[in-house]
Amino acid sequence: MHCNENSFPMESSNETTAFVSADDSHWAQFIESKDLAGFASSWLALLCNSIDGVIGAMVLMGKANEGPYSPVALWPEQTHDLQYLALSAEQALVRRKGVLTDAAKLEATGHISRQVAYPLEVSGVLHGVTVLDLADRPASQLQAVMRQLLWGGAWLEIRIRRAMEDEGRQTVERLATLTELTVRSVQYEHFGQGAMALVNELAARLPCDRVTLGVVKRNTLQLIAVSNTSNFQERSNLAQATRSAMEEAVDQQSLIISPSQGNEGEVLISRMHDDFCMRYELASVCTVPLPGKSVPFGALFCERTTHPFDGETIELLKGVGHLLGPVLEAQWQQEHWIKTRLLGAPLRLLQRYTGPDGFILKVVSGGLVLLLVLLALIRTDYRVDAKTVIEGSVQRTLAAPFDGFIASAESRPGDVVQLGQVLCTLDDRDISLERKKWSTVGEQYTQKYRQSVAKHERAEARITDAQLKQAEAEGALLDEKLTRARITAPFNGIIISGDLHQRQGSPVQQGEELFKIAPLDQYRVILQVDERDFAQVRIGQKGQVVLSSLPHDTFAFTVKQVTPVSLAEEGRNYFRIEAELDQAPDLLRPGMEGVGKVVAGRCSLLWIWTHRVVEWMVLTFWQWAP
């Protein structure tokens, strides 16, 4: 059946609505009802009796703004199924305004009727809805019904407001009581004194004949304080029964009351509590677990001999458990910090691991153990990493052959040169003049020698011959300097250092370095190995190097020499290891840097990833050991 819903505006009117009582019992219930459901039932009956042609009606209420909304009152009480009114109720709840359906014959009732639904809102909060099934009537009468439903709904709103005010007042009183109990438990220096004050205060406020506090220690509950009792025997039958009942609630981590009053759908085991009540002829007993940070800290056991626990007391006990549990645990740990923190932490972890809530911990720990086993079994190459520099296998230094001046410079660092190629020239003009001087002196000594021989002056001839040889030697020395004035490449290679273009005309001294040349086809790899890994490197081991300028290429090398000489750099000691490249590419140049790794053997992944930490711990222990 298709229904066309119409929303009616709620008009103000000076009319007064007369509620005609069909039954004085409804008025009595309306006035004296203590709960909201009874009040709604009597109110609905009075409303329906005051409106002609009401076929059926119901009031749905639930959690504010959330629901679900279920029937709390039906009219008539012995009626047929009113499920067909649910659609109108749902529309009124969704729209939050009055809803009126068109006249239609419903199969559920067999009558031609209209449905009127109006939501119950208090301060903008939706609490429920009222639905009426009316016999069809003119629009003017429907408007009067809507007004009457609106005005009558004010009684429910007032009753809901009173319930909210009562609940708020009870909450404030409950919070004040909890605050006082918390202050009473922590104002003492020792835990035992605060525990005794707490149970005495609870016994007086609830009221209870006896209140017992127990603390979980080593997976066993121990009784700490009993109200109005300075000494108690832990091995007595009463103490054993009390401990068993408290452990029953701690194991289930839920408040348990005997006789049971319902626990919001929870199925709890209360055998020990029931036996305690029957054995000691009590009206009711209640155990409140005290939660801790990770595991339950303890419990409070309350006993009454005359009357059972009401709803307000139960709510107060729940608040006591949630608030005082962490407070008492912190006070206990502060007084027993050695046992609870140093010794208790492993025990609590073991309890969580073996307990029913330790499934995730078991899975995680099992996974970690399995991972460690796999890491210990999987073996791979252990590679020692080190900072690496590429050098030429031979580096030739070209120095100034004599004191002079730079005449020209044909090459600079980075240039590839060939054997015999001129790199630079020195100014040889002074040497050339000096050479001519000694040539002239030599000719003079030659002529003088001939004259001495012709005159048979043997002594003079010998002296002149010696002077002649000196002049010839000086000339030969100058000829050699003239030859060496042109600095040439000793082999095919690349200039590593020596930029003389900016020094033309400047003086140089004999032996001063001018150029440094390395060959292009012969290289060596220099690795700076950390002293911690020096013992792992051996001659003949293989390795690979990746250079900063060629990060996508890997070059293999072989260790050729292990130099036992350390080099201090950046606060650590390094040893110089020389290696030879298996194959030198054309792009390689001396001076390139990168990271090299030497294969030092096969080890487990666990050792590779943890040996640094283990070695550090051993060294630290040795350092601090007496």
Q: What is the pLDDT of residues 391-403, one digit of tens each?
A: 877 777 888 888 8
pTM: 0.42
pLDDT, residue 8, reads: 32
pLDDT, residue 284, reads: 92
Question: Cα(136)–Cα(113) distance, rounded to whole angstroms?
Answer: 5
Q: What is the DSSP string of 309-335?
A: --HHHHHHHHHHHHHHHHHHHHHHHHH
Structural domains of the chain ordered from first start:
24-167 (3.30.450.40), 187-337 (3.30.450.40), 396-516 (2.40.50.100), 522-624 (2.40.30.170)
The whole-chain average pLDDT of the chain stands at 79
* Cβ–Cβ < 8 Å for 15, 147: yes
Residue 141 host element (H or E):
helix 139-186
Q: What is the pLDDT of residues 409-455, one digit of tens each?
A: 888 887 888 887 888 888 878 878 888 888 888 888 888 888 888 88
pLDDT, residue 130, reads: 84
Residue 146 host element (H or E):
helix 139-186
Least confident of 78-82, 97-101, 602-606: 78-82
Q: What is the pLDDT of residues 534-580, one digit of tens each?
A: 888 889 999 999 998 888 889 999 999 888 778 887 778 888 888 98
Q: What is the DSSP string of 183-194?
A: HHHHSSSSHHHH
The residue whose two tokens read 């020792």 is 190
Question: Cα(82)–Cα(70) distance, rounded to whole angstroms?
Answer: 12
Between the two ends of the chain, the Cα-to-Cα distance in Å is 95
Would you state the structure tokens that stand for residue 441, as one six-digit string?
């002196």
pLDDT, residue 341, reads: 56
Q: What is the pLDDT of residues 71-81, one digit of tens each?
A: 878 877 765 66
pLDDT, residue 265, reads: 52
Q: What are phi and psi of 468, to 5 degrees?
A: -65, -45
How far CA 611 is from CA of 368, 543, 608, 616, 617, in Å, comes to: 19, 21, 6, 8, 10
Q: What is the pLDDT of residues 346-383, one digit of tens each?
A: 666 666 666 666 677 778 888 888 998 998 899 988 99
Question: Cα(134)–Cα(136) distance, rounded to whole angstroms?
Answer: 6
Q: pLDDT band at 503, cuts 50/70/90?
A: confident
Angle at 540 (CA atoms; ends 535, 543), nearest 5 degrees: 80
Count CB-CB contacts under 10 A for residue 7.
Answer: 12
Q: Is the pLDDT of residue 102 over 80?
A: no
CA 238 to chain centre: 49
Q: Give the DSSP letter of residue 139.
A: H
Q: Is the pLDDT of residue 344 over 70?
A: no
Q: What percent of the chain has pLDDT over 70?
A: 85
Q: What is the pLDDT of residues 261-316, one digit of tens each?
A: 654 556 788 899 999 999 988 999 999 998 887 778 899 999 998 888 888 788 88
Q: What are phi and psi of 544, to 5 degrees?
A: -140, 150
pLDDT, residue 10, reads: 34
What's the average model confidence in pLDDT over 180-208?
Answer: 79
Nearest to 596 by CA among 528, 524, 522: 528
Q: pLDDT band at 474, cuts 50/70/90?
A: confident
Radius of gyration of the chain (CA): 53
More confident site: 489 or 163: 489
Nearest to 308 by CA among 317, 319, 299, 320: 317
Question: Cα(42)–Cα(210) distance, rounded to whole angstroms?
Answer: 42
